[in-house]
Structure 1
Amino acid sequence: MSTMVRTRPPANASQPAMPWLDHYPRGVDWHMPLKVAPLYQLLDDAVARFGGLTCTNFLGRTLTYAELGRQVEQATLGLQQLGVKKGTKVGLLLPNSPTFIVYFFAVLKAGGTVVNFNPLYTVAELSQQVKDSDTELMVTLDLKVLLDKVEALITAGCLQRAVVASFPALLPLAKATLFRLFRARELGNPAASPVREKLLLEAELMAASGQPDPVAIDPINDIAVLQYTGGTTGTPKGAMLSHANVYVNVQQVSATAPELEDGVERVFAVLPFFHVFALTVVMNLGIAHAAEIIIMPRFNLDEALKLIDKTRPTVLPGVPTLFNALLNHPKITNHDLSSLKFCLCGGAALPIEVKQRFEKVTGCNVVEGYGLSEASPVVTCNPIDGPVKAGSIGMPLAGTVVSLRDLADPTQEVPLGEKGEICVSGPQVMRGYYKRPKETADQMVGEFLRTGDVARMDADGFFFIEDRIKDLIISSGFNVYPRRVEEAIYEHPAVAEATVIGIRDKKRGEAPKAFVRLKEGMSATVEEMLEHLAARISKIEMPSQIEFRDELPKTMIGKLSKKELKAEEDEKARAPA
């Protein structure tokens, strides 16, 4: 069952300026009606229309939409017989795999709520999230690195039970045989587990006979996904994303790319599905267009390029570090990327130099967008065929209003062209944080979601990120935005990656420090880098220190991470002189 909702500006007296309405891309309607339905209808529609087409391509083994749909129905029945019902929280501790897709939709069809877990989390981190989310059941694979963590959670008493699927069963027969022969040490043994009575093998769950019971879903209010995020405070909280939030956001993103053809596209899935960007823009967008989803369980640059050569994807969603890595591969010109129609970039700010060089080398447009977990996640996107404005995150998606608010008083809008906090209203904005009404209230100003990101808007309605509020460096009383310094560093021809944080400084209170990774085979000195920056940024923005490193810390999805660097510098500052 589905309904249509029409987009409209917020109903209040102080309606924000919306200049983007006069400059929207041709063929895209900000006022377009948006369909609201249970999220699993994306898959049901693809199965009904394109059942014979390939849905997943996993290390050489393919499943059609009809085959995957049957697995979802069988898993739904098994979950219901386990007691999964309306509102039951089911965790997915899985790498990218067909198993993730099957259980994501099976949980939703059973009426449950999916809780996404990062497979790289420690047991302590997983335990905190299991308890906070009230996760009752976990789905994982029999890979030892995952099974060991699930066993520890069950032994500690914070997790009741788990479903364990077979990793080798996902592979082509020859690869599965070789995996069991030569990589058996990477597999756990759930049949001999010390918590065996709390584990259900997938084969046992799939053996149930009958048909699953249909569950009535209220798309607006029923929660499809609990997506954990640090938000603007850094404290992990579960963003409650309703069926409608995610379903609508898929439509909004799809509307920005009208050339996507149902049943024709091939989406390269290297970003992890448990992250909200990949969940919407890779998995769900791919399924909405009945695309072939080419799945990598773990990113390896050389293997990714070989797979692109072999499978000829048409859409590549990624983060800046992915495009940077591809661009700096010494043999990039030996690989054929001509099948790509366009690349979608999110998760972090895309350096202008990286965008321009990637497009020149590949001939493929890199379209930058912006979002956050609390908005399912996409908020803005650049037009694919429209004007390109250097450094812009684009214009709001259909039905989305972005209002820039005063940093000292978020109830007040800033004048056009001035910096303000991005605040978002739209049908993709979360229902709130799970069990955290105060934090939810603090995150909202009226019907607008506060993002903690600072931007400005030009006269055409294009937005330009300046920085995150919490990343702001106050140096000698002046505001310094790390992104501005990073952009200047990226203009140096020897720089591969750069990130800037604020460190304690006796003279300036706080000062920027830059961490830089150079391109392979290239060199630069601190003096050369400072000379490079002198013509590009002000003295107050100049880093007090520049440190070259062989690698920079990154998050699971490949974003450069400042957290570890800040912790290192804080430890140095606390150490006795």
Structure 2
Amino acid sequence: MVAAPPIEATPIAPSRAPDSLPPDWSPPAMLLGDFMDNAVRDHGDRPAVDFMGRTWTYRALGRMVERAARGFQDMGLGKGDRVALCLPNTPYYIVLYFAALKIGAVVVNLNPLYTQSEMRHLLTDSGARVVAVPDLREIHGKVRAIADECQLATILVCPMAGILPRVKAWGWRLFKRRDHARYAHDALHMRFCDLIARGDPPRPVALVPDDLAVLQYTGGTTGTPKGAMLTHRNLTANALQQQAHIHGDLPAPQRTLAVLPFFHVFALTAVLDFSILVGSELVLMPRFEMDAMLATIKRKPPTLFFGVPTLFIAMNALDDAKIPKLSALRACISGGAPLPLEVRQTFEQRTGGRICEGYGLTEASPIVTCNPVDGDIRANSCGQAFPGTQIEIRDPENPETILPLGANGEVCVRGPQVMAGYWQRPDDTAKVFVDGALRTGDVGHLDEDGYLYLVDRLKDVILSGGYNVYPRVIEEAAYLHPAIEEAIAIGIPDRYRGQSAKLFVKLHDGQNVSPQELLDFLTEHLNKIEVPRAVEIRQSLPKTMVGKLSKKELVAEERAKAEAATPAV
């Protein structure tokens, strides 16, 4: 167990700027469309996108954006209209994203793996009238089934064969027919080729950086998903902050492995927006599959790589012969969930790449902190505040009170990347701000150099016998055992203590260890209150749709067990 640092003074982590920037630096207010326009102007002949071996230059990509923007306008879309993108990582996503933004429309990200019920809520809540889908039967079918009740005006169908290399396109048409969407050529459907058929440029639209750009829905782990209103300024600021964090301009050429899905806010900003900003080539993967990713890395070695901890855990589990050499990486950043120290160290030893853990949340577009790409990475810290960002540690019980340095409290954030509020939810918006600072719901503390150490989510803290027990502390201890590949700790009912911890683990292939042996190991690394009451070994642990370990399924299971064991009155 790592003890918290002693409590001192200095309650706020100030905005941090690299040495090349003035201390009061803040990103200029821009439009997302400026990123694409600048990339076309400055890097027109440079590769912009690689999809399964087929490439487009920035100039070609820019032309498609212009034509799609005019197509949207000819459909009757304009400023403030919502356009939902229910697409995997494909050139279609990039084109339609920037086309919608260019005409002042608002992008609504829709995970293609969502159920009909989840899609229905997001489409109804956002008021989207146009939804873009691939011509995949499974995805199109879900959207078509709810189109009438969601009052959709258009389903924009994007054919996969239209973006594949010639031979792969033939294979798709011949051997994947069962996967093809069957749809009527009616007023509800429009093909992508018809959207871009007109070659005229879009009509100019008056836009300002504070205009709404994206409705990014929260994961819904604590209730109904809410739409975080992210403006052009929010999203461009966060990409520009990332550029400043990596110390300014990156020498050409850069290449980004885009394996994280763009419909997730981490990939939207850190992968897509940032890559367009710096003129990097985006090597797209429509879904994560390990062998395909390794082949892609070999074919197009990346210089920029963004992932989540479960991705790095999976890579650590590879045989030596499969481990890619990543020593040429300029930046490899982990986000979305805490990165265990053992996972980082193993990855760096085996691949030669250096991982920088960052931290953020949807409501902050999303990045708040990150360890330096060059410099001191501190164990179990998610780094210092992004340039132009301030972090405050506040008392969860009395949020008006800012706590001193080293004290654990709720992490609160100020910066240009912080959202404008929740879509049509003024009461929820008011609850998530205190004195103008965004309340993250995360517990952590700052050290004397402004490095942030997260302890846990406020909602995940286990109240055991009057003590706060943090699941992350238990999980970090579990990862010290060489047999453990993945770990999740949750609170379960305890008649005596109120709650106790239970640890769920997945073992590395070929490992054999008993729950009692793991408990004995944890006893050496945790205090008596933190030691789990039970350890359960599973073949797999639940994950979210973007690959993060997920607690809510296990919490629900344990709650159901407790309710079933309670005698009826």
Same fold (TM over 0.5): yes
Which residue does 2:205 correspond to in 1? Answer: 215
2:71 equivalent in structure 1? 78
Give yes or no for contact 2:17–2:387 (8 Å, CA) kept in 1: no
Partner of 2:228: 239
Q: Is the 8 A contact 2:18 2:247 kept in 1?
A: no
Q: CA deviation at 1:283?
A: 0.6
- 2:416 counterpart residue number: 427
- Please name the residue that 2:494 is paired with: 505
State the match for 1:180 in structure 2: 173
Give the structure 1 partner of residue 259 of structure 2. Answer: 270
- Give the direction of change, closer, same or farther, for the CA distance of 1:549–1:106 in structure 2 (3 Å limit): same
How much has 1:205 moved relative to structure 2?
1.4
TM-score (norm 1): 0.94
State the secondary structure of the residue aligned to 2:350. helix
Matched AA of 2:20: G
Distance 2:323 2:506 in 1: 24
What is the percent sequence identity of the aligned residues? 46
Question: Which residue number in structure 1 is paired with residue 287 of structure 2?
Answer: 298
Aligned to 2:3: none
Whether 1:122 aligns to 2:115 is: yes
**Contact 2:357 2:370 (8 Å CA) reproduced:** yes
Q: What is the TM-score with the length of structure 2 in the denominator?
A: 0.95
Residue identity matched to 2:188: K
CA distance in 1, matches of 2:180, 2:10: 55
SS in 2 for 1:76: helix
| Aligned 8 A contact 1:54 1:65 in 2 | yes
What is the SS of the residue equivalent to 1:337? coil
Kindly indicate whether the alpha-carbon contact (under 8 Å) linking 1:282 and 1:317 is maintained by their aligned counterparts in 2. Answer: yes
Counterparts in 2 of 1:551 and 1:166: CA distance versus 1, 3 Å: same
- SS at the partner of 1:87? coil
Which letter does structure 1 place at the counterpart of 2:137?
K
Structure 2 partner of 1:348? 337
User: Shift in Å at residue 209 of structure 1?
Assistant: 4.3
Once the two structures are TM-superposed, the CA of residue 569 in structure 1 deviates from its matched residue by: 1.2
Correspondence for 1:198: 188
**1:264 CA drift (Å):** 1.1
Matched residue of 1:541: which SS? coil
Q: 1:37 to 1:153 in 2, by over 3 A?
A: same
Q: CA deviation at 1:161?
A: 2.0
Question: In 2, are the aligned partners of 1:29 and 1:398 still within 8 Å (CA)?
Answer: no
What residue number does 1:518 align with? 507
Q: Distance in 2 between matches of 1:336 and 1:472?
A: 38
Choose from 524, 531, 534 the match for 1:542: 531
Give the structure 2 partner of residue 462 of structure 1: 451
**Runs (5+) with no aligned partner, structure 1:** 1-14
CA distance in structure 2 between the aligned counterparts of 1:232 and 1:301, rounded to whole angstroms? 27
Distance 1:145 1:30 in 2: 51
Structure 1 residue 366 corresponds to structure 2 residue 359: no
Contact kept in structure 1, 2:120 and 2:150, CA below 8 Å: no
Give how far 1:175 is off.
0.2
Match of 1:444 among 424, 428, 433: 433
Aligned amino acid, residue 436 of structure 2: E
Inter-partner Cα distance in structure 2 for 1:342 and 1:360: 16
2:132 maps to: 139
Hey, what's the Cα distance between the residues in 1 that align with 2:247 and 2:87?
32
Superposition map of 1:332-411 within 5 A: 334-411=323-400
Say whether 1:87 aligns with 2:80.
yes
Distance 2:508 2:19 in 1: 39
| 2:59 partner letter | A
What is the Cα deviation at residue 250 of structure 1?
A: 0.4
The one-letter code of the counterpart of 2:250 is E
Give the drift of 1:576: 4.5
Q: 1:24 and 1:245 mapped to 2: Cα distance?
A: 18
Q: Which residue of 2 aligns with 1:252?
A: 241
Tell whether the 8 Å contact from 1:232 to 1:452 is kept in structure 2 after alignment.
no
Could you tell me how far apart the structure 2 residues matched to 1:28 and 1:395 are?
16
Report the alpha carbon displacement of residue 234 of structure 1 after superposing the two structures with TM. 3.4
- Equivalent position of 1:27 in the other structure: 20
Aligned pairs for 1:9-88 (under 5 A) are 17-18=11-12, 25-27=18-20, 29-88=22-81
1:560 aligns with 2:553: no
Match of 1:344, SS?
strand
Q: Deviations over 1:323-356 (max 9, x none)?
A: 1111111245553323322310110000011111
Amino acid at match of 1:393: C
Is the CA contact (8 Å cut-off) linking 2:325 and 2:352 kept in structure 1?
A: no
Structure 2 equivalent of residue 112 of structure 1: 105
- Structure 1 window deviating more from structure 2 (211-220 vs 432-441): it is 211-220
Name the aligned partner's letter for residue 376 of structure 2: P
Q: How far has the Cα of 1:33 moved from its partner?
A: 3.9
Q: C-alpha displacement at 1:387, in angstroms?
A: 1.7
Q: Secondary structure at the match of 1:62?
A: strand
CA distance in 1, matches of 2:208, 2:47: 30
Residue 18 (structure 1) shift: 4.3
Distance 2:14 2:507 in 1: 39
Give the one of 477, 482, 490 matched to 2:479. Answer: 490
Distance 1:419 1:572, change over 3 A: same
Q: 1:417 — aligned with what?
A: 406
- Extract unaligned runs of 5+ from structure 2: 1-8
C-alpha displacement of 1:372: 0.5
Residue 204 of structure 1 aligns to which amino acid in structure 2? D
1:4 matched to which residue of 2? none
Tell me whether 471-480 or 251-260 shows the greater mean CA deviation: 251-260
2:448 partner SS = coil
